[in-house]
A and B are shown apart, each in its own frame.
Chain A
Amino acid sequence: MRKSSLLVVAVAVTGALTLSACGSRGGNSGSGSGSDKASGGTKVVIGVDAPISGSLSALGLGIRNSVELATKQANEKNYVPGVTFSIEAKDDQANPTTGKQNATALVDTKGVVGVVGPLNSSVSQTMQKVFDDAKLAQVSPANTSPELSLGPKWGENQFARQYKSYFRTATTDVVQGKFAAQYLYNDAKKTKVYVIDDKKTYGAGLAAIFQAEFKRLGGTVVGADHINPGDKDFSAVATKVASSGADSVYYGGEYPDAGPLSDQIKKGGAKVPLFGGDGIYDPEFIKLANGNGEGDLATSVGVPVEELDTAKEFVANYAKAGYKDPYAAYGGYSYDAAWSVIEAVKAAVEHNGGKVPDDLRTKVLDELGKVKFTGVTGPVSFDEYGDTTNKQLTVYSVQGGAWKKVKSGTYTG
């Protein structure tokens, strides 16, 4: 009895898996009115790695769908004659180890010429070398850690490209920290800042970049301190902020500590705004600040996609494609990342006399650094480190218990 019911379950699961696999394949060939035109063409695969399940799946599904949409559009337009695009999506569950396994699997998959992903910088760290060894191009739509492209000494302004195969369409924390300093000094007219960080790679790095730029502009750093992520009592730090006469606080870290920190700073008598990076740009921050987060500020990479003229077509097409999940924060960047691979394929084919070269993977890598086009998020191209040259950022502020856009801008240096 027990054995037979187990058998039934196993059969059902296998069946479901097969069906869902068929479903996704059906979806791809459904887009194939374009691929029929290019019948007999070469099949080119764009790999995707993102957290498709787990707590970050909303972002991950947005990435996968946007890449799929890009390949559909390319096929419909017959953008690269003789080539049909499809995707191969892997789920990393925001886990670095799984990410590395996925990278290995994508390298071994025939036809994969480039990979879009992953979401998390920590996942990218384990994948980069695998891709680089295989000369397979990787374009992340969401990583912000500078180390991934600039090397471990980026904090000391010594830049060294880590892996030639790594590119990204999201801008880095170097740009984010400087942009924040410029906003605080030039626009918000704050001159005395107290800098706090959580000692982690992201937070300490961001705070250091901010601090240097704020001083360069002419502002004063009236004090600096560190906290332990996970601590509950920040009253001593709050007292220091209050007695330092600071008119603002910059915090490098993430929202679980930033919310309580902002709360305790205000309760400690310093009625000054707390400013942070994309790590605090989350509704949870506002909740944890217990109503004391009003007026606090955060930068986040990019511009809300809905506001860009270049994105209207993408937004409409995404809606038409009928995806169940929204394109989320990184959809536009993922779409552009996929298109940069498509453009690289096109260039590789053109430079080979219109025929698909045998070593397409290496050729795509060579061409990717040179692509230049107008994407959903604005002009897309990469600098000598593989970072995007599009340095758009947005400052948000907590108003009426929600994050509201204050200013979007392009970082110019």
Chain B
Amino acid sequence: MHELPQNLANGLMLGLMYGLIAIGYTMVYGIVQLINFAHGEIFMIGGFGALTAYAALPHGTSLWLALPVMILGGVLASVLTAAAAERFAYRPLRTAPRLAPLITAIGLSIALQQVVWAFYPGAKKALSFPQFEGDPIGLGSFHLQRNDLFLLVAAPLCMLVLAAFVRLTRTGRAMQATAQDPDTAKLMGIDTDRIIVVAFALGAAFAAVAAVAHGLRYGQVDFTMGFLAGLKAFTAAVLGGIGNIYGAMLGGLVLGVAESLATAYIQDVPGMHQLGGGAWANVWAFVLLIVVLLVRPQGLLGERVADRV
């Protein structure tokens, strides 16, 4: 068990990333009750946006200087995609039965993947993402990647910004109101269409930050990376209680750590040798989801916006 700190750190990194993406699922669901299955692809497009911004900079720019530009590029790409998706794919269906936008979301997800595959130069295979050079920061057998420091700083910062935004700004309060009762909110003079776009945009911005972290951590982006990451983040959102932004982050962390520990230790449990190891990580992640849904269907923190009957 001496590598426990390392496995916890691995899980923490995964979890922070899942959590950042999960916020997008949770906010959109909280306001329009739509599971935006194209959110994984919005995350993926954030990665390509950051890469494009990096390529546009003069060759040899230090990554420290480039990073803010890359984040900006990623956020821009993600937010524009999400806003366009909301405007052209979801808004026309807002009064349609719930199944229609869900199917649209799945279709959009595949379409976005194929668009990147077909039109982004070189995207038919994985593309390298710039990396911070240097050895990992080590303490005995424990290693922390320099590239992971970004995620360690960015994820808590994003959460703070989001919490402050929702509590302290007019738009944030309007969001809470819209989530509770869109019709009454409209009567009170809130432009609900604008609020919905803001929810999509905020989720997309966090997904783009997660995509930059993903690129730094794994050294590559590719057009398929949104699928599994999106599915895991959706799981994290449900785990934490979909509609609850703190739940999304908590769900992400629980999922990441559980996945990491299951991969590391389940095969050491007597009789479980065949059911452990790297190939089983996804299995245990979804087993956890099922267990939580059986025991506590509203998720770990519950759904704060569910008090509308």
Report A's interface with B, CB cutoff 8 A.
196, 199, 225-228, 230-237, 239-240, 242-243, 256, 259-260, 263-264, 267-269, 284, 287-288, 290-291
Contact = CB atoms under 8 A, between A and B. Distances in A.
Interface of B is mostly: helix
Contacts of B228: 230-232
Contacts of B156: none
Between B3, B7, B138, the greatest number of chain A beta carbons within 10 A of the residue's beta carbon is seen for B3
30 contacts: A225-B278, A226-B277, A227-B278, A227-B279, A228-B279, A228-B282, A230-B224, A232-B214, A233-B10, A233-B14, A235-B13, A237-B278, A239-B7, A240-B264, A242-B3, A242-B6, A242-B141, A256-B125, A260-B126, A260-B218, A268-B143, A269-B138, A287-B128, A288-B126, A288-B128, A288-B220, A290-B128, A290-B131, A290-B219, A291-B131
B128 A236 contact: no
Interface string B251-274: 000000001100110000000000
B143 A236 contact: no
B278 A269 contact: no
Contact of B264 (A233, A239, A259, A268): A239
A294 to B, nearest CB: 14
B225 interface: yes
A269 B143 contact: yes
A230 B7 CA distance: 21
7 A-B pairs with least C-beta separation: A236-B263, A226-B279, A290-B219, A235-B10, A237-B278, A243-B3, A227-B278
B2 A228 contact: no
A239 B278 contact: no
B136 interface: yes
Given A230-B228, A232-B229, A242-B3, A267 B143 contact: yes
Contacts of A227: 278-279
Contacts of A260: 126, 218-220
Interface string B7-34: 1001001100000000000000000000
A411 B214 CA distance: 43
Given A228-B281, A236-B263, A260-B126, 6 more contacts: A199-B279, A232-B214, A235-B14, A243-B6, A260-B220, A268-B143
A165 B7 CA distance: 52
Nearest to A268: B143
B136 A243 contact: no
A281 to B, nearest CB: 16
